[in-house]
Amino acid sequence: MIRKDIQTFIQTIPSEITIVAATKYVEADDMLALFNSGITNFGENRVDDFLRKYESLKQYPISWHFIGHLQRNKAHKVINKIDYLHSLDSLLLAEDIEKSRGTPLSCFVEVSVNHEENKNGVPYEEVTEFIKSLLKFSKVKVVGLMMMAIQASDENSLAHQFGKLRALRDDLEKELNISLPYLSMGMSEDYLEAIKQGATHIRLGRILFEKL
């Protein structure tokens, strides 16, 4: 069940910020309630769940984001149904997009800012060369960078982590003469600090569905 004050909560988010509802544990009826409350961007983590929910809601003007790690053997199932991929982290996946996608796909490069072994993403120091390699693909449109902060980080640590991604984006735009307008960073527990550091897309799950 979505929180009872959902519309009031939405109004606390600056209008230029895109709320991507992370609906990993949510079914289509609650997603439709969110849609009717004004949230039109939905992010899924798993291919099978995405396909099921997509079929249930495809008649609605929803922007679909895939925010989890996309396994290459399943990529072809979703590539032409999503509007944004937040987790591009390998050239092999980029090649799969190039083969399967009909039109250019807006992609965030997932960056491993903190080098956590259990997390996906391109190592921070390798992002420049990675994006250079992506420029040859006509169906991969890099629109920004994505990251996940270390869980339970304090405010100063979050500011450092998110600021590091913003600085990387700024450097990439100058060095490669490209536009990377979007930063996908911030979740239910840390989105306020992410917004302070320049997030354009925040991936909110639990905070949208708490029962008050």
Question: Rounded to two decimals, what is the model's pTM?
Answer: 0.95
- Give the pLDDT confidence of 3-35 residue by residue, as tens digits: 999 999 999 999 999 999 999 999 999 999 999
Reduced to 3 states, what is the DSSP secondary structure of residue 141?
strand
CB 59 within 8 A of CB 79: no
- Give the pLDDT confidence of 122-137 residue by residue, as tens digits: 999 999 999 999 999 9
Q: Is 1 a residue whose pLDDT tops 80?
A: yes
Instruction: Report the DSSP pairing between strands 18-22 and 41-44.
Output: parallel
DSSP assigned state of 46: -
CB 30 within 8 A of CB 209: yes
